[in-house]
Structure 1
Amino acid sequence: MAFFSRLIHPASERELLRALYEAPGPSRRTTFSPNFDVRETESAYILEGELPGFHDKSKLNIEFTDPQTLFIKGRLEKSLSDVGDEQEKEKRKQEVEGKSTDTEVKKESKPKLWISERTSGEFQRSFTFPVNIDQEGVKASLEHGLLSVMVPKRSQPVGRKIEIQ
Protein backbone atom coordinates (compact mmCIF):
# COMPACT_ATOMS: atom_id res chain seq x y z
CA MET A 1 0.00 0.00 0.00
CA ALA A 2 2.70 2.48 -0.95
CA PHE A 3 0.01 4.69 -2.47
CA PHE A 4 -1.14 5.65 1.04
CA SER A 5 2.26 5.70 2.71
CA ARG A 6 1.63 9.07 4.36
CA LEU A 7 -1.35 7.78 6.33
CA ILE A 8 -1.23 6.04 9.69
CA HIS A 9 -1.88 2.34 9.09
CA PRO A 10 -5.40 1.49 10.28
CA ALA A 11 -6.34 -1.92 11.58
CA SER A 12 -7.84 -3.02 8.27
CA GLU A 13 -8.24 -1.96 4.66
CA ARG A 14 -11.96 -1.46 5.29
CA GLU A 15 -11.17 1.20 7.92
CA LEU A 16 -8.78 2.87 5.48
CA LEU A 17 -11.39 3.05 2.76
CA ARG A 18 -14.03 4.32 5.21
CA ALA A 19 -11.63 7.01 6.45
CA LEU A 20 -10.93 8.12 2.89
CA TYR A 21 -14.60 8.12 1.96
CA GLU A 22 -15.60 10.19 5.01
CA ALA A 23 -12.65 12.57 4.78
CA PRO A 24 -13.43 16.14 3.71
CA GLY A 25 -12.84 16.98 0.06
CA PRO A 26 -9.37 17.82 -1.21
CA SER A 27 -8.12 21.29 -0.53
CA ARG A 28 -7.98 23.38 -3.68
CA ARG A 29 -4.89 25.52 -4.02
CA THR A 30 -5.63 28.72 -5.86
CA THR A 31 -2.14 30.20 -5.72
CA PHE A 32 1.35 28.77 -5.51
CA SER A 33 4.93 29.82 -6.00
CA PRO A 34 6.97 27.88 -8.59
CA ASN A 35 10.58 27.04 -7.78
CA PHE A 36 13.27 29.03 -9.60
CA ASP A 37 17.04 28.80 -9.86
CA VAL A 38 18.83 32.09 -10.51
CA ARG A 39 22.41 32.05 -11.80
CA GLU A 40 24.69 34.97 -12.53
CA THR A 41 27.33 35.05 -15.23
CA GLU A 42 29.60 37.96 -16.13
CA SER A 43 27.14 39.23 -18.70
CA ALA A 44 23.68 38.06 -17.58
CA TYR A 45 21.32 36.57 -15.03
CA ILE A 46 19.70 33.26 -15.94
CA LEU A 47 16.40 32.28 -14.32
CA GLU A 48 15.02 28.76 -14.63
CA GLY A 49 11.61 27.99 -13.18
CA GLU A 50 9.71 24.73 -12.85
CA LEU A 51 6.22 24.79 -14.34
CA PRO A 52 5.39 21.09 -14.78
CA GLY A 53 2.53 20.55 -17.18
CA PHE A 54 2.57 24.17 -18.34
CA HIS A 55 2.27 24.43 -22.10
CA ASP A 56 -0.03 27.38 -22.83
CA LYS A 57 2.30 30.37 -23.27
CA SER A 58 -0.68 32.72 -23.52
CA LYS A 59 -1.33 32.17 -19.79
CA LEU A 60 2.17 33.37 -18.89
CA ASN A 61 3.15 37.03 -18.54
CA ILE A 62 6.72 38.32 -18.09
CA GLU A 63 7.23 42.07 -17.69
CA PHE A 64 9.28 44.71 -15.93
CA THR A 65 7.55 46.62 -13.15
CA ASP A 66 10.52 48.98 -12.77
CA PRO A 67 13.98 49.25 -14.39
CA GLN A 68 15.46 46.43 -12.26
CA THR A 69 12.47 44.23 -11.29
CA LEU A 70 11.21 41.37 -13.45
CA PHE A 71 7.68 40.13 -12.71
CA ILE A 72 6.51 36.66 -13.83
CA LYS A 73 2.90 35.60 -13.41
CA GLY A 74 0.57 33.07 -14.90
CA ARG A 75 -2.07 30.44 -14.41
CA LEU A 76 -1.42 26.71 -14.35
CA GLU A 77 -4.40 24.40 -14.73
CA LYS A 78 -4.46 20.65 -14.35
CA SER A 79 -4.23 18.87 -17.66
CA LEU A 80 -7.06 16.49 -16.80
CA SER A 81 -10.30 18.01 -15.60
CA ASP A 82 -11.84 16.61 -12.47
CA VAL A 83 -14.75 14.66 -13.95
CA GLY A 84 -16.59 14.67 -10.62
CA ASP A 85 -16.47 18.47 -10.41
CA GLU A 86 -17.85 18.81 -13.93
CA GLN A 87 -20.72 16.44 -13.13
CA GLU A 88 -21.46 18.33 -9.92
CA LYS A 89 -21.60 21.66 -11.80
CA GLU A 90 -23.98 20.18 -14.38
CA LYS A 91 -26.17 18.72 -11.62
CA ARG A 92 -26.43 22.12 -9.87
CA LYS A 93 -27.23 23.84 -13.18
CA GLN A 94 -30.04 21.40 -13.93
CA GLU A 95 -31.45 21.72 -10.39
CA VAL A 96 -31.59 25.51 -10.79
CA GLU A 97 -33.43 25.03 -14.09
CA GLY A 98 -35.91 22.72 -12.30
CA LYS A 99 -34.86 19.50 -14.00
CA SER A 100 -34.50 16.28 -12.04
CA THR A 101 -31.05 14.73 -12.17
CA ASP A 102 -31.47 11.74 -9.85
CA THR A 103 -31.91 9.23 -12.69
CA GLU A 104 -29.00 10.70 -14.68
CA VAL A 105 -26.63 10.56 -11.70
CA LYS A 106 -27.50 6.93 -11.04
CA LYS A 107 -26.73 6.00 -14.67
CA GLU A 108 -23.25 7.55 -14.60
CA SER A 109 -20.67 6.34 -12.13
CA LYS A 110 -19.04 9.41 -10.65
CA PRO A 111 -15.35 9.00 -9.78
CA LYS A 112 -14.35 10.26 -6.35
CA LEU A 113 -11.07 12.12 -6.02
CA TRP A 114 -9.17 10.68 -3.06
CA ILE A 115 -5.92 12.62 -3.17
CA SER A 116 -5.00 15.75 -5.11
CA GLU A 117 -1.38 16.84 -4.71
CA ARG A 118 -0.68 18.41 -8.10
CA THR A 119 -0.27 22.16 -8.00
CA SER A 120 -2.60 24.37 -9.98
CA GLY A 121 -3.86 27.92 -9.90
CA GLU A 122 -2.31 31.34 -10.26
CA PHE A 123 1.30 32.10 -9.52
CA GLN A 124 3.55 35.12 -9.46
CA ARG A 125 7.20 35.76 -8.76
CA SER A 126 9.30 38.90 -8.89
CA PHE A 127 13.05 39.23 -9.16
CA THR A 128 14.96 42.43 -8.44
CA PHE A 129 18.46 42.62 -9.86
CA PRO A 130 21.29 44.46 -8.05
CA VAL A 131 22.75 46.02 -11.21
CA ASN A 132 21.30 47.78 -14.25
CA ILE A 133 19.95 45.36 -16.82
CA ASP A 134 19.26 45.50 -20.54
CA GLN A 135 15.47 45.13 -20.75
CA GLU A 136 15.50 45.05 -24.55
CA GLY A 137 17.80 42.02 -24.63
CA VAL A 138 15.75 39.75 -22.34
CA LYS A 139 14.88 36.37 -23.89
CA ALA A 140 12.53 33.71 -22.55
CA SER A 141 11.72 30.14 -23.57
CA LEU A 142 9.40 27.43 -22.29
CA GLU A 143 10.23 23.79 -22.98
CA HIS A 144 8.95 20.68 -21.21
CA GLY A 145 7.68 22.68 -18.23
CA LEU A 146 10.94 24.58 -17.69
CA LEU A 147 10.79 28.36 -18.11
CA SER A 148 14.19 29.89 -18.91
CA VAL A 149 14.69 33.64 -18.85
CA MET A 150 18.01 35.24 -19.81
CA VAL A 151 18.38 38.78 -18.48
CA PRO A 152 21.51 40.51 -19.83
CA LYS A 153 23.35 43.02 -17.70
CA ARG A 154 23.67 46.53 -19.08
CA SER A 155 27.26 47.28 -19.93
CA GLN A 156 28.78 49.72 -17.51
CA PRO A 157 29.56 53.11 -19.02
CA VAL A 158 33.27 53.54 -19.63
CA GLY A 159 34.87 56.57 -17.98
CA ARG A 160 36.03 59.29 -20.30
CA LYS A 161 38.39 62.14 -19.57
CA ILE A 162 37.33 65.55 -20.88
CA GLU A 163 40.09 67.91 -21.96
CA ILE A 164 39.74 71.55 -21.07
CA GLN A 165 40.31 73.87 -24.03
Structure 2
Amino acid sequence: MTRLTRTRNRNLNGLQNEIDRVFDRFFPSSDESEENTSPQAVWRPRMDLIETEDAYRLHLDMPGINTDDLTISYKDNELIVSGERESSCTDENEEFVRVERSFGHFRRAFTLPQTVDADNIEAAHDNGVLTIRVPKTEAARPRQIEIR
Protein backbone atom coordinates (compact mmCIF):
# COMPACT_ATOMS: atom_id res chain seq x y z
CA MET A 1 0.00 0.00 0.00
CA THR A 2 1.30 3.44 -0.93
CA ARG A 3 1.22 6.02 1.79
CA LEU A 4 0.68 9.68 0.91
CA THR A 5 2.53 12.06 3.15
CA ARG A 6 2.96 15.79 2.95
CA THR A 7 6.52 17.03 3.15
CA ARG A 8 7.77 20.56 3.37
CA ASN A 9 9.99 21.18 0.42
CA ARG A 10 11.66 24.58 0.49
CA ASN A 11 13.35 25.86 -2.58
CA LEU A 12 15.69 28.83 -2.67
CA ASN A 13 13.03 31.26 -3.90
CA GLY A 14 10.76 30.41 -0.99
CA LEU A 15 13.62 30.81 1.43
CA GLN A 16 14.59 34.15 -0.13
CA ASN A 17 10.98 35.40 0.15
CA GLU A 18 10.91 34.37 3.80
CA ILE A 19 14.19 36.20 4.52
CA ASP A 20 12.89 39.29 2.68
CA ARG A 21 9.74 39.30 4.82
CA VAL A 22 11.79 39.08 8.03
CA PHE A 23 14.08 41.94 6.98
CA ASP A 24 11.12 44.05 5.83
CA ARG A 25 9.49 43.55 9.21
CA PHE A 26 12.56 44.64 11.20
CA PHE A 27 14.01 47.18 8.76
CA PRO A 28 11.05 48.88 7.08
CA SER A 29 11.65 51.32 4.24
CA SER A 30 11.56 55.03 5.03
CA ASP A 31 8.02 55.57 3.76
CA GLU A 32 6.27 52.69 5.53
CA SER A 33 5.54 54.85 8.55
CA GLU A 34 3.55 57.13 6.23
CA GLU A 35 1.69 54.19 4.70
CA ASN A 36 0.32 52.61 7.87
CA THR A 37 -3.15 52.71 6.35
CA SER A 38 -2.13 50.64 3.31
CA PRO A 39 -2.59 46.86 3.36
CA GLN A 40 0.31 44.53 4.13
CA ALA A 41 2.09 43.17 1.04
CA VAL A 42 1.10 39.57 0.36
CA TRP A 43 3.35 38.77 -2.60
CA ARG A 44 6.15 40.25 -4.72
CA PRO A 45 6.18 40.31 -8.51
CA ARG A 46 9.32 38.92 -10.15
CA MET A 47 11.68 41.60 -11.43
CA ASP A 48 14.69 42.01 -13.72
CA LEU A 49 16.98 45.05 -13.45
CA ILE A 50 19.06 46.12 -16.44
CA GLU A 51 21.67 48.88 -16.47
CA THR A 52 22.78 50.62 -19.65
CA GLU A 53 25.09 53.60 -20.11
CA ASP A 54 22.20 56.06 -19.96
CA ALA A 55 19.49 54.41 -17.80
CA TYR A 56 18.26 51.67 -15.52
CA ARG A 57 15.38 49.51 -16.74
CA LEU A 58 13.15 47.45 -14.49
CA HIS A 59 10.87 44.72 -15.85
CA LEU A 60 8.24 43.45 -13.42
CA ASP A 61 5.92 40.52 -14.16
CA MET A 62 2.34 41.78 -13.77
CA PRO A 63 0.06 39.29 -15.54
CA GLY A 64 -3.61 39.91 -14.89
CA ILE A 65 -3.10 43.37 -13.40
CA ASN A 66 -4.66 46.45 -14.96
CA THR A 67 -2.71 49.71 -15.06
CA ASP A 68 -5.47 51.25 -12.92
CA ASP A 69 -4.49 48.84 -10.13
CA LEU A 70 -0.82 49.95 -10.14
CA THR A 71 0.87 52.83 -8.34
CA ILE A 72 4.42 54.00 -9.06
CA SER A 73 6.00 56.71 -6.92
CA TYR A 74 9.44 58.19 -6.35
CA LYS A 75 10.57 59.95 -3.19
CA ASP A 76 13.95 60.39 -1.52
CA ASN A 77 15.80 58.12 -3.99
CA GLU A 78 13.27 55.31 -3.51
CA LEU A 79 11.12 54.01 -6.35
CA ILE A 80 7.99 52.25 -5.07
CA VAL A 81 5.75 50.01 -7.17
CA SER A 82 2.58 48.79 -5.49
CA GLY A 83 -0.83 47.51 -6.40
CA GLU A 84 -3.21 44.63 -6.08
CA ARG A 85 -4.19 41.57 -8.10
CA GLU A 86 -7.71 40.36 -7.46
CA SER A 87 -8.36 36.67 -6.86
CA SER A 88 -10.42 34.94 -9.48
CA CYS A 89 -13.58 33.55 -7.97
CA THR A 90 -14.96 30.11 -8.63
CA ASP A 91 -18.57 29.27 -9.30
CA GLU A 92 -20.75 28.08 -6.46
CA ASN A 93 -20.27 24.43 -7.43
CA GLU A 94 -16.50 24.72 -7.94
CA GLU A 95 -13.67 24.38 -5.49
CA PHE A 96 -9.98 25.17 -5.93
CA VAL A 97 -7.90 22.01 -5.94
CA ARG A 98 -4.58 23.80 -6.22
CA VAL A 99 -3.65 27.50 -6.17
CA GLU A 100 -0.17 28.54 -7.31
CA ARG A 101 -0.80 32.10 -8.47
CA SER A 102 -0.40 34.90 -5.96
CA PHE A 103 -3.19 37.38 -5.30
CA GLY A 104 -3.63 40.38 -3.08
CA HIS A 105 -1.62 43.50 -2.35
CA PHE A 106 2.03 43.78 -3.39
CA ARG A 107 4.75 46.37 -2.86
CA ARG A 108 8.30 46.59 -4.19
CA ALA A 109 10.69 49.36 -3.16
CA PHE A 110 14.00 50.07 -4.88
CA THR A 111 16.63 52.45 -3.54
CA LEU A 112 18.17 54.25 -6.51
CA PRO A 113 21.45 56.15 -6.66
CA GLN A 114 21.37 59.93 -6.50
CA THR A 115 22.60 60.04 -10.09
CA VAL A 116 19.17 59.33 -11.62
CA ASP A 117 17.04 61.85 -13.45
CA ALA A 118 13.86 61.47 -11.39
CA ASP A 119 11.89 63.98 -13.47
CA ASN A 120 12.09 61.76 -16.56
CA ILE A 121 11.15 58.34 -15.16
CA GLU A 122 8.84 56.53 -17.61
CA ALA A 123 6.63 53.48 -17.23
CA ALA A 124 4.82 51.25 -19.73
CA HIS A 125 2.63 48.18 -19.23
CA ASP A 126 2.54 45.71 -22.12
CA ASN A 127 1.56 42.01 -22.28
CA GLY A 128 1.67 41.59 -18.50
CA VAL A 129 5.10 43.20 -18.06
CA LEU A 130 5.58 46.58 -16.40
CA THR A 131 8.70 48.32 -17.73
CA ILE A 132 10.08 51.30 -15.82
CA ARG A 133 12.90 53.32 -17.38
CA VAL A 134 14.94 55.42 -14.96
CA PRO A 135 17.39 57.65 -16.86
CA LYS A 136 20.75 58.62 -15.43
CA THR A 137 21.85 62.23 -15.17
CA GLU A 138 24.30 63.49 -17.76
CA ALA A 139 27.06 63.64 -15.10
CA ALA A 140 26.63 59.94 -14.29
CA ARG A 141 26.99 58.76 -17.89
CA PRO A 142 30.36 57.47 -19.03
CA ARG A 143 32.24 59.80 -21.36
CA GLN A 144 35.28 59.48 -23.54
CA ILE A 145 38.34 61.45 -22.46
CA GLU A 146 40.40 62.84 -25.31
CA ILE A 147 44.16 62.40 -25.08
CA ARG A 148 46.18 65.45 -26.13
Give 1:112 shift: 1.9
Distance 1:116 1:69, change over 3 A: same
**Which residue is 1:57 aligned to?**
67
Distance 1:146 1:58 in 2: 14
What is the aligned-residue RMSD (CA, Å)?
A: 2.2
- Note if 1:70 corresponds to 2:79: yes
Distance 2:54 2:64 in 1: 31
Percent identical pairs in the alignment equals 30
Distance 2:51 2:99 in 1: 36
Give 1:130 shift: 2.4
**Which residue is 2:54 aligned to?**
43
Distance 2:138 2:2 in 1: 64
**Structure 2 matches for 1:16-165, cutoff 5 A?**
31-54=42-65, 56-66=66-76, 68-78=77-87, 80-84=88-92, 110-156=93-139
Indicate the SS of the match to 1:42: coil
**Which residue is 2:35 aligned to?**
none
Give 1:10 shift: 4.9
Gaps of 5+ in 1: 1-8, 16-29, 85-109, 158-165
Length-normalised TM-score, structure 2 = 0.63
Distance 1:39 1:144 in 2: 19
Could you list the runs of 4 or more consecutive aligned residues of structure 1 that deviate by over 6 angstroms after TM superposition?
none
Distance 1:142 1:10 in 2: 48
Distance 2:2 2:96 in 1: 20
Gaps of 5+ in 2: 5-40, 141-148
Give 1:116 shift: 1.3
Offset from partner CA, 1:109-130 (integer Å, 9 cap, x none): x212211111111101011122
Q: Which has the higher contact order (CA 8 A, sep 6+)?
A: 1
